[in-house]
Amino acid sequence: MASFSMTQIRTGNYTSGFSLNYPNKVYARPSRIGFKVFASESESSSEPDLSVTVNGLRMPNPFVIGSGPPGTNYTVMKRAFDEGWGAVIAKTVSLDAAKVINVTPRYARLRANGNGSTKGEIIGWQNIELISDRPLETMLKEFKQLKDEYPDRILIASIMEEYNKAAWEELIDRVEQTGVDAIEINFSCPHGMPERKMGAAVGQDCALLEEVCGWINAKATVPVWAKMTPNITDISQPARVALSSGSEGIAAINTIMSVMGINLDTLRPEPCVEGYSTPGGYSAKAVHPIALGKVMSIAKMMKAEFDSENYSLSAIGGVETGGDAAEFILLGANTVQVCTGVMMHGYGLVKKLSVELKDFMKKHNFKSIEDFRGASLEYFTTHTDLVKRQQEAIKQRKAIKKGLQSDKDWTGDGFVKESESMVSN
Ligand SMILES: Cc1cc2nc3c(=O)[nH]c(=O)nc-3n(C[C@H](O)[C@H](O)[C@H](O)COP(=O)(O)O)c2cc1C
């Protein structure tokens, strides 16, 4: 049985919180934390504990539905809660859905066997889908209904607007009135929206990002996560700007700009709409190593410059197994989002992810997510440092080299050991 407890979640706004003076430019975030009732997992269990508390939001596990088709409407988000996802991030909404016009087909897949193959494992997925084309009023009604029915579960709205302060303020205000627990800002959609100076157009321009983040964080009263685009040279730069402009968290990565393939019979690109296509966003297993690289770079920056108690990292990209999730957590992620994985395997995937993550934790005797979060980050260094470490290791191995260098080195006391050191079996 779940037990209910009262916990402090958020108060006040960004500018009115406390602030600490950290050395080395470490930012300590004033909290947007208030009071909220939540259900806690049953207390006494020898099983590893998957629950996490992120920016004051308690989740039964770190698995979060990433913004996209799995969070498009009430029915599917309810399903996600019922199946046990730790949190749900809804499909990105904007003020005027009438401006959002989707095409079909809008997805194309890459199989392991390569171009044109209809067999073999799906390893890559491309979409040219825009943000939600459903009226904002409808989406807001559904957010409210979900929060009424699942008050103890975490629902996060994903929002995007044009370069217009009043529009952002109105959207934040309306979304917050539904009772959502946090807001993710989509600074990262790579197709369609940048043509309207939205999404990745903001995430790729640090000056613009700083200004827009400033508006958002002055207005929002719930935690804000900034979702980053990987389509940029150094992702840690916009992540730093988003955090120092008042956001509590970073989410990364959104999809990677790509051309999925050319149909070798028709010579037309995929996905093919009336004979034409446009570059889209790449996701699924194939992007996982790229996402790991981007998350590692953000995590290193955050560890050096931002206080880990108050700033969070939500990792995304190609997660289909508990092991994929463990990798992100080992790099420092607090939560792990899944989008395409749910489109391929369904909402029940969370059960497999949980079992596999617990198995990993049992193997290493980790009791909680915090026991291993960020544990692998320290093993990344520069190539120059790798060369230095290898030279040092070779020197040490030579120093304990088997056998005697010369007959003059035999000693009376160590004679038997010295003989053994030159035996091969
Ligand atoms: C069909 C599709 C639609 C998406 N729509 C959105 C969106 O509306 N907002 C957003 O922030 N990300 C969107 N994404 C990006 C995902 O949330 C995620 O960042 C990306 O797909 C990588 O994760 P994955 O490999 O688990 O899918 C979409 C992804 C897909 C595949």
Residue 265 CA, chain-centre distance (Å), reads: 38
CB atoms within 10 A of CB 277: 22
Which alpha helices (DSSP H) does 245-348 contain, by range?
288-305, 322-331, 340-345
Q: What are phi and psi of 93, to 5 degrees?
A: -115, 155
> Does ligand 1 have an atom closer than 6 angstroms to the CB of 338?
yes
For residue 14, is pLDDT > 70?
no
Cα–Cα distance for residue pair 157/140, rounded to 1 Å: 9
pLDDT of residue 229: 96
What is the CATH architecture of 51-379? Alpha-Beta Barrel (3.20)
For residue 8, is pLDDT > 70?
no
> Does ligand 1 have an atom closer than 6 angstroms to the CB of 324?
no
Contact 348, 83 (CB under 8 A): yes
Residue 134 CA, chain-centre distance (Å), reads: 25
Q: What tens digit of pLDDT does each residue of 331-348 get?
A: 999 999 999 999 999 999
Minimum mean pLDDT among 145-159, 169-183, 188-202: which range? 188-202
For residue 131, which atom of ligand 1 is closest to its CA?
A: 8
For residue 195, is pLDDT > 50?
yes
Q: What are phi and psi of 117, to 5 degrees?
A: -70, 135
Cα(7) to ligand 1 centroid in Å equals 32
Nearest-CA residue for ligand 1 atom 6 is 68
Cα–Cα distance for residue pair 394/401, rounded to 1 Å: 10
> Does ligand 1 have an atom closer than 6 angstroms to the CB of 66?
yes
Q: Strands 280-283, 269-270: parallel, antiparallel or unpaired by DSSP?
A: unpaired
pTM of the model: 0.88
pLDDT of residue 17: 32
For residue 37, is pLDDT > 90?
no
Nearest-CA residue for ligand 1 atom 5 is 68
Confidence tier at 115 by pLDDT (50, 70, 90): confident
Contact 328, 292 (CB under 8 A): yes
Cα–Cα distance for residue pair 300/22, rounded to 1 Å: 17
